[in-house]
Structure 1
Amino acid sequence: MSVSAIAEDGKIGVEIKRSDFMIKSNVTSSSVINAAIERYQYLIEHEYYESPIDRDSGTLKTMGSIYSLESYTLDVPADGKACIVAKTPFGAVRALETFSQLVTANSGRKVIRNAPVKISDTPKFSHRGILLDTSRNFFHVDAILRTLDAMAYNKLNVLHWHVVDAFSWPIESKIHPELTEKGAYTLDMRYSYEDVKKIITYAKNRAVRIIPEFDMPGHTYIIGESHPELMACMNKQPNWDKYTAEPPSGQLNIADPRAISFAFDIMAEYSRLFVDLQYHMGGGALNLDCFGEEPTIEMYVRDHPGESVDSLIVGWSTQMANKLDDLGKIPMVWEDTILSHNFTARNTTIVQAWINEDSVGKIVDRGYRAVASPWNKYYLDCGHGSWLSDFGGTSWCDPYKGWQTIYTYDPLANITDPIKQKLVLGGEVALFSSQSDETTIDRNLWPRASAFAEVMWTGNIDPRFRMVARGIMAEPLQPLWCFLDHIFQREKTLRKFLDALHSDGLVAQEARLGNAHKQLYGMDEGTDTYVPTSGAGDSKVSTSRVRPENTATYFTYNNSYSQQQDNASGAQFSRVDDDYIFESGARARV
């Protein structure tokens, strides 16, 4: 793309011409960088977005540590020869996303306004995630991949995959195939090993980690469909609410050695399939009545003086954490395991807070690293009423969590000790899927998760229209009228938008919304689907940007080491086949 300086309203801008725009890199061995180049080359060439924001801020800096693995600098001088410098491929991915968002449409041209632009960018928190539950309702692979695209647009870096729950077991098991045979909703609602590997690779190329959660010993009714001998309080009716927070009831029998052996099998199998160093072992919302009324547990406690249901829970958690350590994984647990049952874990354990905001402080007071997910701030599934007929139409986690609630929550609130502040790795917004599926996932996540992403990164954020233009059907935050003076500055463009929106009548408005927005800000006509050109896996290509005749290096990152410590968060990464797997843990594995 020819990149040339232009004058507009007395300000210098950079025009991007599709004919010879090119992104290049001095690093060719990283599949992450190669994939990012191909995506952003295509996106920048085809996206046509009119921004309501006039950026004129000079040098921009964010609040995070300069040692972050996702940090980068981006320099767009007035002559258009832009330069990206990043420590890792993941920083390069973030920089390319920022660069793509600087490009806006203006009078039929694509420009970066108000050059020169200098950005030194790094996240405030190292763990910025979304929890997605695929058990209550199923999400096909395409819906998950689209969510990963949206996460990359918002610089989120963790998909906490809540793979299984009481309702279904949708993932293939080679050790216990009966789990999927009896636990998946249908033959079509299963994730094969190849599906999982595809999702992991797709996420990695977007600088997103996949942390799996196989929640045990609670929320495990579905295991009882194939292994009833391992269960306690299996599907108690009609008084199910005595034994579980929501039906069907069922928890693994924590006094049965066969249940412990089964859980070890699951950890061993999926620790190999999921490559991230963290593994979420669950442990939340256990029902003590379920355990207390199980005859075999009653007998065990009677025959072992000094034992109790609580001590059995602690013993279970200890054995699971030790098993994960043997497998080379870092345990992640729900806060109940630590705060309600007095389990003392290794200080490398990561504890996810969900009960309230005060939990984060309690976790770091005990010396553990914390991920904030308080239900009253970050649970995005709430506010749609109860799915249960006998709960008076209200849900336990009502009301709806608007973007303002999410945006104003600070995980560091009331934590004043700098050392303890560093133990707060970040947060996750959660989409448990009792009332969500792939037809609603976009609007249930976005743009509320964008508000969360801004808090976690403290960077700039565009309105929802840019995500809609990229195929993410984020819900509107206010009447269209509020944007008219800023976005629809040309009467012809506004009329085109309104005509497209209403041409098929009221019923067709939602279906046509995405296309109408694309006419205004989206992809060029006929190019609104990204298709990798490499034919190999997710994508392959090459990174920097400027005139093709210029052979100088404009993008670089330091690849002279195999391991580096993040001084701010304790995060590390490992070099694996010239790419990087990074995590918010206390160690790295090569």
Structure 2
Amino acid sequence: IKASASSGIFYGIQSLLQLLPPTVFSGRATGHEVWSIPAVTIEDSPRFHYRGMMLDVSRTFFSADVVKNYIDWMAYHKLNVFHWHLTDDNGWRIEIKKYPDLTEKGAWRGPGEVLAPSFGSGNKRYGGFYTQKQIKEIVAYAAARHIEIVPEIDLPGHSKAVTATYPNVACDNPENTLSVQGEGQNVWCVGKEENFKMLDNIIKEISKLFPGQYIHIGGDEVNYSAWDKCPHCQALMAKEGMKSHEELLNYFVRRMEVIVEKHGKHMAGWDEILEGGALNPKTRVYAWRSVEKGIESVKKGQPTIMMPGAYRYFDMKQSELERGHNWAGIVSVEKAYSLDPIGTAFLDEEQSKLIEGVQGALWTELLGWPSRFIEYQTYPRLSANAEAAWTNQNLRNWEDFNDRLMKFHYDRMYHMGIAFRITPPLAKFEDGAVKVTLPYPWAVVRFTMDESEPNAQSPVYKGDVYTDKPLKFRFATFFRDELKSITVKVSNVEYEYQKPELEIETNIEAGKGNPTVNLTDGKQNTYFRSSRKLQAGDYLTYRFKTPVSTQKIIVETGIPNIAFYWVTDGYAEVSYDGISFLKVTDLNRGSAVIRPKEPVKAVRIVVTAPNDGHIGAFQDLKIE
């Protein structure tokens, strides 16, 4: 293996490992397998010098060992930049010795903490942070794998963890205006000069921990309303002759550029930093809102990383049936693979060079559960990102990539120990039989006929199954009987639920646009949402006009298909006489199943603790 740099030798070794049987990644000898490789000559080099992945550790905290595993798997895929999103509204995760309260207080949320519970962390203390010693260990660990770490502290918005810990950092604003995520008082005041002294001290410590060239300061989704009503910000705007929010943001960004450069680094930020004025030509822009924002950045002369959410946000759903956000659409493996970072933008040679590379991103609002969901959401979409970053566009082909992914790379990832996503089957009911389309020709699909979850002991689908009860069937793809896809139903059969007349009784005020009448319309995609944070003692009752006979009632909270704003602490009750209620079960991740013993007159949800500090959403009952 020959290369012009040690990193090239490292990537050559990764190519060699890919030529060997997948068991090479297991870290243990099988004792009976003959290892051989084809007699080939490979000449290779990456298309982009920046090949990255971002992980948010604020919304959901991950241990140092999990981060190291994440870096290992990135290295196997020849990625070379780990963008570490260390701070946000929901937790400050990096030790700053001059400001110990940032982690002693700002790293924790729950009862009695400065931050309210959020994202399903529950009515208990949740959080964590990395000591400076741990940071140094992880930086060295990544460097040994030729991965540079770009740390991010999100400013001046997304800073509730700071303002809750040090309230004087925020604007002097009597009105609690909200950010797009619903957070109040989460913006640094630009008009307080002492804030820049604090930021200088923070950047000074961070710059000594990370040897890379860049420090990312965020700059996205700032709640400008906080600045509008702040006397300090308004005085600064008048003094400097600024007319818009964007100019004030640019003032903040330019001040941060000076601070970061003072400590021997260059600044990076999200594409909002393009607004309001010019930037230092060395400032790197991360284009997340669209490909067009990346092109705009390049044409303004800025080094740019392409990571548009519609292709590179791996917190998005992978299909309509799976957990995840959907504001940027469905981001399947094929969609992720389809991005050409340069595309048909008609850039000249110098502009094309400013597109330094591509990056995936994993935001973690929904990653608190189930176990290892971080791996499920990342892989194999990261594999698609890796090939787009490494391989020239004229050599890329989706069908070829997908074939290699399923024939070879699934096995590699399995032996790496990754709990990657398995593609589910497609089941249809036609001509009296359930017929399944396999996700790939050699897939193992198991099924049940009683609505239960398929497991490794369930029968393997081998052909049409004739039945008059297709609604009872459930299917899942299995990989080595240890990993499985989501469970799916027959897709072309209407799953009808009873739609009895009912009334809603609640002490919870409705939020705008989501009234209680939504729970009486029989539509599974509408919901009722509170106008305020839920609290202990809140209740919502579904009262039927006439008793309902059923074997099963499914109670679900949260926004349908998104798993956001579900009731984190509460229980479900049933009434057979319309007067007295019996507790049936506690809510589990916002849901409960009731199996009535006789006709039901009412169902009630009772809240027992503050709802992660958030509003709550309630769905129609599913009455079978």
Same fold, judged at TM 0.5 (above): yes
Structure 1 residues 226 and 375, CA, compared in 2 at 3 Å: closer, same or farther? same
Alignment check: 8 A CA contact 2:170 2:185 kept:
no
Query: Unpaired segments of 5 or more residues in structure 2?
Result: 24-30, 109-124, 393-400, 426-436, 446-453, 461-473, 485-624
Structure 2 equivalent of residue 26 of structure 1: none
Aligned with 2:131 (options 192, 196, 201) = 192
Aligned with 1:328 (options 258, 264, 278) = 264
1:89 and 2:44 equivalent? no
Alignment check: 8 A CA contact 1:221 1:234 kept:
no
Structure of higher CA gyration radius: 2
Aligned with 1:413 (options 332, 343, 355) = 343
Structure 2 equivalent of residue 341 of structure 1: 276
How far the C-alpha of 1:311 sits from its partner, in A, is 3.1
Aligned-pair Cα RMSD in Å: 3.5
Alignment check: 8 A CA contact 2:443 2:478 kept:
no
Alignment check: 8 A CA contact 1:279 1:329 kept:
yes
1:298 and 2:234 equivalent? yes
1:424 and 2:359 equivalent? no
Q: Which one has a larger percent helix, Structure 1 or Structure 2?
A: 1
Alignment check: 8 A CA contact 2:319 2:331 kept:
no
Alignment check: 8 A CA contact 2:443 2:477 kept:
no
Deviations 1:368-387 (A, max 9, x none): 1110011111111123999x
1:130 and 2:53 equivalent? yes
Deviations 1:162-202 (A, max 9, x none): 10001111221101001111111258712111211121111
Kindly report which structure 2 residues correspond to 1:363-382, keeping only aligned pairs within 5 A, or say none: 363-382=297-316
Structure 2 equivalent of residue 282 of structure 1: 218
Structure 2 equivalent of residue 121 of structure 1: 44
Deviations 1:306-343 (A, max 9, x none): 565433322211111011111110211211111x222x
Q: Distance in 1 between matches of 2:175 and 2:79?
A: 40
Q: Distance in 2 between matches of 1:177 and 1:507?
A: 51
Structure 1 residues 168 and 504, CA, compared in 2 at 3 Å: closer, same or farther? farther
Structure 1 residues 426 and 122, CA, compared in 2 at 3 Å: closer, same or farther? same
Alignment check: 8 A CA contact 1:167 1:248 kept:
no
Structure 2 equivalent of residue 452 of structure 1: 385
Structure 1 equivalent of residue 72 of structure 2: 149
Kindly report which structure 2 residues correspond to 1:455-466, keeping only aligned pairs within 5 A, or say none: 455-458=388-391, 462-466=408-412
Structure 1 residues 131 and 105, CA, compared in 2 at 3 Å: closer, same or farther? closer
Instruction: Give the aligned residue type for 1:120.
Output: E
Instruction: Give the aligned residue type for 1:128.
Output: R
How far the C-alpha of 1:397 sits from its partner, in A, is 2.0
Structure 1 equivalent of residue 171 of structure 2: 232
Instruction: Give the aligned residue type for 1:317.
Output: V
1:173 and 2:96 equivalent? yes
How far the C-alpha of 1:513 sits from its partner, in A, is 4.5
Structure 2 equivalent of residue 267 of structure 1: 203
How far the C-alpha of 1:414 sits from its partner, in A, is 2.2
User: SS where residue 85 of structure 1 aligns?
Assistant: coil
**Aligned residue pair count:** 412
Structure 2 equivalent of residue 443 of structure 1: 376
Instruction: Give the aligned residue type for 2:225.
Output: D
Greater displacement, 444-453 / 181-190: 181-190
Deviations 1:122-171 (A, max 9, x none): 11011111111111110111211111111111111111001000111122
Deviations 1:40-85 (A, max 9, x none): xxxxxxxxxxxxxxxxxxxxxxxxxxxxxxxxxxxxxxxxxxxx11
Aligned sequence identity (%): 26
Deviations 1:223-269 (A, max 9, x none): 112211110388966x63xx434424410001110111111111111
User: SS where residue 48 of structure 2 aligns?
Assistant: coil
Alignment check: 8 A CA contact 2:172 2:231 kept:
no
How far the C-alpha of 1:501 sits from its partner, in A, is 3.6
Instruction: Give the aligned residue type for 1:89.
Output: S
Query: Unpaired segments of 5 or more residues in structure 1?
Result: 1-83, 387-392, 489-498, 517-590
1:468 and 2:376 equivalent? no
Alignment check: 8 A CA contact 1:215 1:282 kept:
yes
Structure 1 residues 365 and 472, CA, compared in 2 at 3 Å: closer, same or farther? same
TM-score with structure 1 setting the length? 0.64
